[in-house]
């Protein structure tokens, strides 16, 4: 079974790409849905979050109540230290849910699965997938889209964008980049081309069901990622060499940018 990682950034168009992939009847594990699952009151992750942050992050500030997503988001998006703690609790829980579903798909004989992970790189899951697909759009377009889509102030929109790794850095990890800089049909066409390019060979899919070969195949994927190295080290080295910033936080644009109609 071939496992492909899909990532992007907030308002980059990744949701549209996900829907296009699903229209091809390719199984897709949506980690946004898993992120909601693991913070449900019945999940162990919920208890860990409440233990650290307190009931202030819950609706009506009462234990056992659902997470107050707006309040929780305000806390973690405005404080990098708090965000690291939250990610340290949530990411492992999501990773475990992903692995459960991957095993289920493998047991069913599925040949290709796409894992839609906004934090594919931050959560280190890029190391265990065969291919990384990044959906890219310019940061100024991101800003205009999120303001229009979510009705946020420019300050809040910028806080959410800058809480994520800049999209231009994510491109360095990509095996395939889908550029969302035109219209909706162009985005769908680009997605179809990428999915056609990465479809697995049926011969290798069959071999993957022999346990020894499965282990070898998984080992090869991990080794390939290890040999390729972490692009962050290259970026950090470049910063030191030229004393320049590779990707600065997004700031308010001084001019108005044309925004494509799709903002998912």
pLDDT per residue over 216-246, tens digit each?
Answer: 666 666 676 666 666 655 444 444 444 333 3
Helix, strand or coil, per DSSP, at residue 153 = coil
Per DSSP, which regions of the chain are E strands? 2-7, 28-30, 112-116, 131-136, 176-179
**Are residues 2 and 99 located together in one domain of the fold?**
no
Span 180-192, pLDDT tens digits: 988 899 999 999 9
Could you tell me the sign of the dihedral formed by the alpha carbons of 189, 190, 194, 195, in that order? negative
**Are residues 94 and 143 located together in one domain of the fold?**
no
**Are residues 221 and 249 located together in one domain of the fold?**
yes
Distance CA 55, CA 227 (A): 44
158 part of a folded domain: no
- pLDDT over 50 (residue 83): yes
**Are residues 170 and 96 located together in one domain of the fold?**
no
**Are residues 5 and 36 located together in one domain of the fold?**
no
193 part of a folded domain: no
Span 72-81, pLDDT tens digits: 988 998 898 9
- For position 108, what pLDDT does the model report? 86
**What is the count of structural domains for the chain?**
2
**Are residues 74 and 167 located together in one domain of the fold?**
no
Span 147-178, pLDDT tens digits: 998 888 888 888 888 888 889 889 988 999 99
Range of the domain at 211: 1-26+112-153+163-185+204-264
């Amino acid at each position: 079974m071939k496992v492909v990682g899909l990532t992007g950034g907030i308002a980059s168009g990744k949701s549209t790409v996900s829907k296009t992939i699903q229209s091809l009847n390719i199984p897709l594990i949506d980690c946004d849905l898993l992120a909601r699952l693991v913070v449900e009151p019945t999940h162990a992750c919920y208890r860990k979050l409440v233990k650290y942050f307190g009931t202030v992050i819950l609706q009506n500030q009462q234990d056992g109540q659902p997470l107050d997503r707006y309040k929780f988001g305000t806390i973690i998006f405005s404080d990098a230290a708090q965000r690291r703690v939250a990610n340290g609790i949530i990411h492992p829980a999501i990773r475990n849910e992903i692995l459960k579903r991957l095993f289920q798909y493998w047991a069913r004989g599925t040949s290709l699965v796409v894992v839609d992970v906004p934090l594919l790189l931050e959560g280190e899951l890029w190391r265990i997938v065969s291919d990384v697909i990044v959906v890219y759009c310019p940061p100024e377009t991101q800003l205009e889209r999120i303001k229009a889509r979510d009705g946020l102030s420019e300050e809040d929109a910028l806080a959410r964008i800058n809480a994520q790794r800049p999209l231009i850095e994510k491109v360095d990890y990509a095996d395939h980049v889908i550029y969302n800089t035109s219209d909706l049909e162009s985005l769908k066409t680009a997605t179809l081309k990428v999915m056609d390019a990465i479809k697995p060979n049926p011969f290798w899919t069959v071999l993957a069901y022999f346990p020894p070969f499965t282990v070898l195949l998984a080992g090869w994927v991990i080794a390939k990622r290890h040999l390729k190295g972490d692009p962050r080290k290259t970026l950090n080295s470049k910063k030191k060499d030229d004393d320049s910033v590779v990707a600065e936080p997004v700031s308010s644009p001084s001019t108005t940018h044309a925004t494509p109609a799709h903002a998912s």
